[in-house]
Amino acid sequence: MVLIAAAVCTKSGKVIISRQFVEMTKVRIEGLLAAFPKLMTTGKQHTFVETDSVRYVYQPLEKLYMLLITTKASNILEDLETLRLFSKVIPEYCHSLEEKEILDNAFNLIFAFDEIVALGYRESVNLAQIKTFVEMDSHEEKVYQAVRQTQEREAKQKMREKAKELQRQRMESAKRGGNIGRGGHGGFSSDGFGSSGGIGGGSNISAPSIENIEIKPSIKLQKPSQPRNALKLGGKSKDVDSFVDQLKSEGEKISTLTPASTAAAAVARPKIASDIHTESVHLKLEDKLVVRLGRDGGLQTFELSGLLTLRISDEKFGRIKVKLENADQRGIQLQTHPNVDKELFKTKGLIGLKNPAKPFPLNTDVGVLKWRYQTQDESAIPLTINCWPSENGDGGCDVNIEYELEHTRLELQDVCIAIPLPMGVQPAVGECDGTYNYDSRRHLLQWNLPIIDASNKAGSLEFSVASSIPGDFFPLQVSFASKTSYADLRAHDIVTVDDETPVKYSSETFLFVDKYEIV
């Protein structure tokens, strides 16, 4: 199915919230929503209505409608199933199905809608997963709250100790004042408590409670002295600040990194120099990978997204068609630009404008096709990394790491595998395919491989680290680039619209890593 938009509206047709899932002008969406009430007819039990271009699928929610707008080519059974999921989401965030309640929870509903549909296609999620994703439960926030509560408890304990100290000082001060007139009227006895006899008739002195501490102006308390160079929680040492300022003045770039982000910062995205001559018609195909693997094996996340852009620098080549060859066998989702003729692309694999009389924009990178692929199939992994740290009996670890190129048609360049290390410990490297670099400032071992291809598909690195445990070497961060498309798409030919005369063109392909980690 291709879902264009989802909306919650009143029975009279007033739109309360709406979410658009495909590229379409605001005027067009507003026109589709405005047309819905006019198509409703009384006395019919259907939950959908069709026009020449779209299908409206709806479900009554008391005084409201949950409305989906889809293409006519979509499967009506899938449409109804998706509609039921949308209808279940609304009561999860709204106590009542009233217009005001919908508006008050609009952002949560929009976020939930985005978890159900991406790029016009239904995601494989249930209601419980949607709630989890929208809540965005943060482990870091829980840690922060726990630390804050601990600090508050410590501060209260210090307050109680300080109160007891003030109470003790007051009692000692009172004793010292009574010893001066020990033999006089109303004085103190030798045991330190006042006598009830005598002319003064003084009463016994009772120990004050913590809640009723009173400090008289006549008593001067000396402020406890603290070492000037003592460290304070959350404070900054002047020596450290001056050292950092000195490094900055010498041209060093100083950044604050958490241990988890140090390895990620070390694997900057490789840049492949474009050494091709660009023609008047130029195509650029870009793939981006997000991969997350478990340290004990198993694929946790795999996301591929890509974009095909077209740039025309000569107006005489504005009206063209691009023949695309798709050798993909995985079922990657392809989506053309709204101005591109979808039927022409589906039937003949040609990318051309809906209105053939119009040319493509000049001197502009125009995105004509994008794609997306998500899977849990481990065969999709292009490069596997096996990191095996084991304790050596001397308080340290022996680490063996190996890589293997699973997709031999790919040629990976400037591969960098960043391995985190314990602070202040230098690794002893035994065997290494490629080169390595120890970054003592960021506590990293960087394993660099200029190229990995079918002739160099596997390699290993062995090193030892003292005073370490196996968990110190994760997460590993990997970066690489390639001139081969993971999606296995390529331009086959470019011809003119009128007589299909071949047009000379240039093309380039990039595959790069947005995030590739072993956790």
pLDDT per residue, tens digit, the chain (519 aa), is 578 889 998 887 788 888 888 888 888 888 888 888 788 766 566 688 888 888 888 888 888 888 888 888 888 888 888 888 888 888 888 878 888 888 888 888 888 888 888 877 778 788 778 777 777 666 677 778 888 888 888 898 888 888 888 888 888 888 776 544 444 444 434 344 444 444 344 444 444 444 444 444 444 444 444 444 444 444 444 444 555 565 555 555 554 444 445 556 556 666 665 667 889 999 999 999 999 999 988 899 999 999 999 999 999 999 999 999 888 888 899 999 999 999 999 999 999 999 989 999 999 999 999 999 999 999 999 999 999 999 998 889 999 999 999 999 999 999 999 999 998 889 999 989 999 999 988 889 999 999 999 999 999 999 999 999 999 999 999 999 999 999 888 888 999 999 989 999 999 999 999 999 999
For residue 353, what pLDDT is reported? 93
Q: Which helix or strand (DSSP H or E) is residue 251 part of?
A: none
For residue 309, what pLDDT is reported? 95
- Which part of the chain has CATH 2.60.40.1170? 260-519
Q: Which helix or strand (DSSP H or E) is residue 405 part of?
A: strand 397-405
For residue 194, what pLDDT is reported? 41
Q: Which helix or strand (DSSP H or E) is residue 189 part of?
A: none
Rounded CA-CA distance 86/82 in Å is 6
* Assigned CATH class of 3-135: alpha beta
Residue labelled with tokens 């439960």: 137
For residue 220, what pLDDT is reported? 43
For residue 131, what pLDDT is reported? 75
Distances (CA, A) of 292 to 303, 346, 468: 9, 33, 24
For residue 268, what pLDDT is reported? 61
Residue 284 phi/psi, 5° resolution?
A: -130, 125
CB 64 within 8 A of CB 97: yes
Rounded CA-CA distance 224/409 in Å is 73
For residue 83, what pLDDT is reported? 87
Distances (CA, A) of 405 to 42, 300, 328, 412: 62, 19, 19, 9
Of the candidates 436, 446, 432, which has an alpha carbon nearest to the alpha carbon of residue 402?
Answer: 432
* Assigned CATH class of 260-519: mainly beta
CB 426 within 8 A of CB 402: no
- Which part of the chain has CATH 3.30.450.60? 3-135
Rounded CA-CA distance 90/83 in Å is 11
